[in-house]
Amino acid sequence: MSKYINILYLCVLIHNANLMDVTYYEILGVSKQAATQEIKQAYKKLAIKYHPDKNSDEAVQEKFLKITEAYETLKDPEKRRKYDIYGSHGAYTRKYDYQSQSEYNNLFYNGLYHNDPYVVTLSSASFYGYLTDGFHFINFYSPFCPPCQHLADHWKKFAEIYQGIVKVGAVNCKYHNSFCYHNMRIGSYPTLLFYPNGKQGSYIYYTGEDTFDGLEAFVMKFIKNKIHVPVISHLRSSEKPMAYVLGSNNIEDNALTRLAFHLKGLTTVVLIEDEELRDDLTDDPETIVVFEYKKTHTEISSSDERTIIKQIVGSLPKLEEIDPNKLKDIRNKLRSGDKKPWVIYFQSEDDDQLLLHQMKLTFPYMNFGTIDCKSQQELCVSLQVESPPCWAVLKRGGAYQRAYTHPDIFIQSAAEVYNLHTLSVSELQRILDGDVGTWVLLVVPHQLSWEHIADPFTEVSKHYIDSEDINFGIMVCSLQTEHYCRDLAHDQPAILVQEGGDHHVYNGRIDTENIIDFIQLLKDSGSVSLSEEEVLGIMDVSGRQQWWLVAFLPASCDRRCRDLAHEWRIIARRLRPLDWMHVGVLQCEESRGLCANVRQPTARLYPPNKQHYILNLQQKSEAPYILEWVLEHIDDVEKLSWHTFAKQVADDINTHLYKRPWLVYFHSPRCHHCYEKYPDFALASIFMGKVVNFGKVNCLSERNLCQQEHITSYPTLKLYLRNRHHGAGYRVLHLRIRDYKSIMDEVRPYLPNQYHDANLLGGLHGFAPQMFHFKHDEL
């Protein structure tokens, strides 16, 4: 009874109390000594009652957030310990006040670091690509976790100050829960992982205080192993760039280390404590840093890191400036055989150009140049640059590509892929008009994310680097050019292949292998389009001498018919070994003439001189299922039951006289992989039907037979042979199912020599349909 009174008291408390004035224990209705299991049970009851899916009232939604906040903290022993120390104020005061469900959703989806200029928000798709060389620090967090919220400002400050030294990222584990838990084994929030060697090594758990000072002290131990600022007793030669810091009291130790790290390879940073050496360098007591290189002498009186870096980098030799004439000259040389690419840096007015000089140091085998978008505004606009600073590469052959990732990643990959271009509106229009051959396009509407597509698309273009008949282009639309992209890609980035005036949209999974398969399918299958006149000729029974498989797609079909057209190309490729079988598509443009009778997607199979068969493509729309329907009408495969298997397979094999062996395909109609593999089995039956019997067993309806034959996986292919050495009886061989040629190659050694004749095996070319008895179902 007391249990129910406590629950009633808790409900009254939640309804009437200001939740900011009660403890997490009171919110959940448990004592401070409650076990973790008790806390979980209390949360479960309250979550059911107050979940936003069941309550649209904003006040109730806010209560649910407070309940969740309390549970997130108390379920974790370490967070609970800290909460017991600090309480619900100060470090654990909630900084996010959700006034609506939309605010809650925004935090759930976007997390604590959305659009932060220094912290990179990572996902499962981008995480491993983000890891490169150098230091990386990753924060795995929940946006509703008070310690995570407390850390957020410290994390942002750390990312800003250590920009260019440590790559700082964050993963919202509330949204990417599966990745955090299953892939990264994250058990509590926040979990901070430091990668001292980037992708080359393992990570280290950070266990210090969740403050800027704690983070900095931890990371500095690793940075100081990489960089050292010596105290010198005499001045050095000015033949190499030197930065003299005049006294350790002028620049804080960590700031000095960061300064030396940023300038590593560009300028040697040293410390001077000797007053006489200081006097040799400057007469100005306000000077903090002196830069010397050859005839350049620069005195810097600021102690600010960015100011010092900007003045030192500004004193380094200038890079070549590029104007329209120089750009034209560079592209002409690259088109004429020059193989050394150019990295173009579009500079902004306040940019310190540190990264530019670092990249020049990283890529010494490339040319570097700058374009000032303030003085060369028209040139920048023509190169699709609206907001510098940014990067681009001019490649061998003259291709131009803008960077959309960090330059150290972009420059290397872009220079290698010289068939990948960033497109202007005019270039895109020429491609769509069909004037410039075959192009694979990545079209990105304004402000849509496409980072997850960039790497696979680049890898695909690299795969076709030696193909002279195909190019790759990226069109990222701005607000001004948005309508060009929206005509091709509506609510998400799109990949499409433009062949002349036709374009084919890719709707599959975004990975390198599948995109390549899509492109190759288009290249291999050629055009499968048919005109109404051609279809009318096929429909004429008296004049039809070969087999035709035709898809009829209505005019008002949109994406569903585009998907079916893609499936038809897959079917055409699979049926290519049958040179007497033709595959085509009638894509209706208007509902008149023959197309007036095409109201839904259908397939028709036309045998020579016989009536056709019809398949409703609303019921079967994927290539494996359509292929099974087609091949059932032309293959030489017998459906076997328990009775027919015993009578035909076992009896044939047990006889003393030679009879043809049996090749049997065991499958299940619930197995998609069985449908994918069946066409190869059926093709083998067409080519070897004279010398081998082919059968298939449905293990769903013939369960006992499959158990007798020890079938444990689908599909299974077995070859049943007469036992030559022991008289009666037979032996069974398991065969692999790869493609139809491999099946034939595996069966051939078990046939008598007289059956190795190419004519008896049917051959692989010049195969006539009249050689077989085709099965027909009268319609």
Question: Is the per-residue pLDDT at 678 higher than 80?
Answer: yes
Q: How confident is the model at residue 773 (pLDDT cuts 50, 70, 90)?
A: very low
- Six-digit token string for 70: 């309390």
Q: pLDDT at position 757, please?
A: 56
Asked whether 732 and 654 are in contact (CB, 8 A), the reply is: no
Q: What is the mean pLDDT of residues 671-685?
A: 94
Dump pLDDT digits (tens) for 351-395: 889 999 999 999 999 999 999 998 999 999 899 898 889 999 999
Tokens standing for residue 261: 């790290």
Q: Which residue has the higher pLDDT, 557 or 360?
A: 360
Higher-confidence position of 49 and 286: 286
Distance, CA of 367 to CA of 393 (rounded, Å): 10
Has residue 755 got a pLDDT over 80?
no
Share of the chain above pLDDT 90, in %: 51
Lowest mean pLDDT among 130-144, 330-344, 647-661: 647-661
Alpha-carbon distance 12 to 19, whole Å? 12
Judged against a pLDDT cut of 80, whether residue 763 lies above it is answered with: no
Whether 568 has a pLDDT exceeding 70, the answer reads yes
Average pLDDT over residues 489-512: 86
Model pLDDT, residue 764? 43
Residue 621 CB partners (closer than 8 Å, separation 6+): 560, 563, 564, 567, 601
Task: Give the closest residue to 688 by CA, choosing from 648, 744, 639, 757.
Answer: 744
Give the torsion sign (CA, 156, 160, 161, 163).
positive
pTM over 0.75: no
* pLDDT value at 1 more than 70: no
User: How many CB atoms neighbour CB 25 within 10 A?
Assistant: 20
Among 280, 282, 290, 292, smallest CA distance to 239 is for 292
For residues 754 and 416, the model is more confident at: 416
pLDDT-derived band at 53, boundaries 50, 70, 90:
low
Half-sphere exposure of 37 toward its Cβ, with a 13 Å CA cutoff? Answer: 0
Q: Is the pLDDT of residue 728 over 60?
A: no
Checking if the pLDDT of 7 tops 70, the result is no
| d(C-alpha 261, C-alpha 619), whole Å | 64
Is 90 exceeded by the pLDDT of residue 544?
Answer: no
Among the residue ranges 133-137, 606-610, 625-629, the one predicted with the least confidence is: 606-610
| Strands in 554-656 per DSSP E | 581-587, 602-606, 613-616, 637-639
| Closest among 685, 695, 696 to 771, alpha carbons compared | 685
pLDDT at site 16: 39
Q: Which helix (H) or strand (E) holds 551?
A: strand 547-553
The answer, yes or no, to whether the previous bond of 715 is cis (omega within 30 of 0) is: yes
Position 716 scores a pLDDT of: 95
Greatest alpha-carbon span in the chain: 113
Cβ burial, residue 54 (10 Å; 0-12/13-18/19+): exposed
What pLDDT, on the 0 to 100 scale, is given for residue 654?
A: 55
What burial class does residue 279 get, using C-beta atoms within 10 Å of its C-beta: 0-12 exposed, 13-18 middle, 19+ buried? exposed
Neighbours of 735 (CB within 10 A): 17
On the question of pLDDT at 15 being above 80, the answer is: no
pLDDT digits (tens, 9 = 90+) for 293-314: 999 999 999 999 999 999 999 9
Report which secondary-structure segment, H or E, holds 360: helix 354-362
Burial 115-135 (b: 16+ CB within 10 A, else e): ebeebbbbebebbeebbeebb
Q: What is the mean pLDDT of residues 522-529?
A: 78
Please tell me the distance from the alpha carbon of residue 231 to that of residue 567, in angstroms, as a whole number.
Answer: 71
pLDDT of residue 672: 93
257-277 tens-digit pLDDT: 999 999 999 999 999 999 999
Residue 173's SS3 state is coil
Instruction: Name the pLDDT band for 132 (thresholds 50, 70, 90).
Output: confident
Beta strands in 55-128 (DSSP E): 120-122
Residue in this structure with the two tokens 């509590």, named with its chain if needed: 188
Lowest mean pLDDT among 188-202, 222-236, 455-469, 556-570: 556-570
Amino acid letter, residue 153: D
CA distance 479 to 485: 10
* 728: Cβ contacts below 8 Å, ≥ 6 apart: 654, 655, 656
CA distance 744 to 763: 11
Number of H helices, E strands in the chain: 29, 28
Q: How far apart are CA 724 and CA 359, in angstroms?
A: 73
Q: 10 Å Cβ neighbour count for 510?
A: 16
- The candidate with the shortest Cα–Cα distance to 300, out of 292, 308, 777, 657, is 308
In terms of C-beta density within 10 A (0-12 exposed, 13-18 middle, 19 or more buried), how is residue 28 classed? buried
Q: Any idea what DSSP says for residue 592?
A: S
Predicted confidence at residue 746, as pLDDT, reads 92
β-pairing, 502-506 vs 547-553, is unpaired
Rounded Cα–Cα distance for residues 585 and 71 (Å): 59
The answer to whether the beta carbons of residues 706 and 666 sit under 8 Å apart is yes
For residues 778 and 182, which has the higher predicted lDDT (pLDDT)?
A: 182
Confidence grade of residue 767 (pLDDT, cut at 50, 70, 90): very low
Q: Which strands make up the sheet holding 120-122, listed edge to edge?
A: 120-122, 166-172, 135-141, 191-195, 204-205
- How far is residue 425's CA from residue 384's CA, in Å, rounded to a whole number? 9
Q: How confident is the model at residue 412, as a pLDDT?
A: 86
Which residues touch 21 (CB under 8 Å, ≥6 apart)? none
Q: pLDDT averaged over the chain? A: 85
| Per-residue tokens: 3 | 């249990």
Q: Find, among 73, 188, 35, the residue nearest to 65 by Cα.
A: 73
- Let me know: does 510 contact 450? Beta carbons within 8 Å: no
- Single out the residue of 663, 683, 553 nearest to residue 618, CA to CA: 553
Res 118 pLDDT > 90:
yes
Long-range contacts of 298-301 (CB under 8 A, 24+ apart): none
Query: End-to-end CA distance of the chain, in Å?
Result: 74
Three-state secondary-structure class, residue 519: helix
What percentage of the chain reaches a pLDDT higher than 70?
A: 89
Average pLDDT of the residues in 694-717? 94
| Cα(169)–Cα(703) distance, integer angstroms | 54
Residue of 284, 299, 283, 290 lying closest to 269 (CA atoms):
290
pLDDT value of position 731: 84
For the stretch 156-199, pLDDT in tens is 999 999 999 999 999 999 889 889 988 999 988 999 999 999 88
- Identify the pLDDT of residue 775: 41
State the average pLDDT over residues 318-327.
93
What mean pLDDT is predicted for residues 572-593? 87
DSSP character for 371?
E
The amino acid occupying position 8 is L
Which pLDDT score is estimated for 540?
87
Domains of the chain: 2-94 (1.10.287.110), 104-223 (3.40.30.10), 242-315 (3.40.30), 319-418 (3.40.30.10), 527-631 (3.40.30.10), 635-771 (3.40.30.10)
